Amino acid sequence: MSNKVLEKALNEQLNAEFYSSYLYLSMSAYFSDIGLSGFANWMRVQAQEEQFHALKFYDYINERGGRVILSSIDSPQTEWESPLDCVKGVLEHEKKVTSLINNLVDLAITEKDHATNIFLQWFVTEQVEEEDSVNEVLNKLKLIDGKGNGMFILDKELALRVFTPPTTA
């Protein structure tokens, strides 16, 4: 990739996506531990989606003749106070990712790399969908206030989520 500033930034985002996957897998382990297997399934699917995102960056860097550099992934948080605390953490994290993507778009524009700007638009759209779907779960969780029957139903609903690679890839 001729633009080394962008190449470095894309590699950093590749690492950030793998970190997201690691964090969500850690959340999945937390939910398994407290007996919410549906929530655990949901976070495992989220972790798979993040790996998919990481590999999209991987392929794009290669496609542009850049060099993929894999760097160490930070240890994720392992404990949360409650399911609500954990799902709030997901939304917070997704908002952080959205700002990282927006910063990358800004950089692509500053660097006049139109192809990278177009590539990143997929992620801009994806972040709207990601924040929306986490918000939906968070709102339901707030509504049932962590109570028995509601938790049982929501857990069953989340057990049905499956990973389907996005068609726009």
- Residues in the interface with ligand FEO (CB under 6 A) total 7
d(C-alpha 101, C-alpha 21), whole Å: 16
- The answer to whether 20 contacts ligand FEO (rule: CB under 6 A) is yes
**For ligand FEO, what does the binding mask look like between residues 82 and 121, x meaning CB under 6 A?**
------------x--x------------------------
Joined together, the tokens standing for residue 146 give 């962590």
Q: Which residue is nearest to ligand FEO (CB)?
A: 53
- The answer to whether 17 contacts ligand FEO (rule: CB under 6 A) is yes
The least distance separating ligand FEO from the CB of residue 53, rounded to whole angstroms, comes to 4
With respect to ligand FEO, which residue has the nearer C-beta, 92 or 146? 92
| Closest alpha carbon to 65 in 15, 12, 14, 6 | 6
d(C-alpha 133, C-alpha 148), whole Å: 23
| Closest alpha carbon to 97 in 19, 45, 1 | 19
With respect to ligand FEO, which residue has the nearer C-beta, 60 or 151? 60
DSSP 3-state of 167: coil
Q: Which of 130, 137, 141, 154 binds ligand FEO (CB under 6 A)?
A: 130
What are the C-alpha distances in Å from 36 to residues 4, 31, 43?
45, 5, 11
**For ligand FEO, what does the binding mask look like between residues 26 and 65, x meaning CB under 6 A?**
------------------------x--x------------
DSSP 3-state of 62: helix
- The answer to whether 7 contacts ligand FEO (rule: CB under 6 A) is no
With respect to ligand FEO, which residue has the nearer C-beta, 48 or 144? 48
Q: How many distinct helices (H) and strands (E) make up the chain?
A: 5, 0
Give the position of tokens 């992620």.
123
Give me the residues that bind ligand FEO (CB under 6 A), please: 17, 20, 50, 53, 94, 97, 130
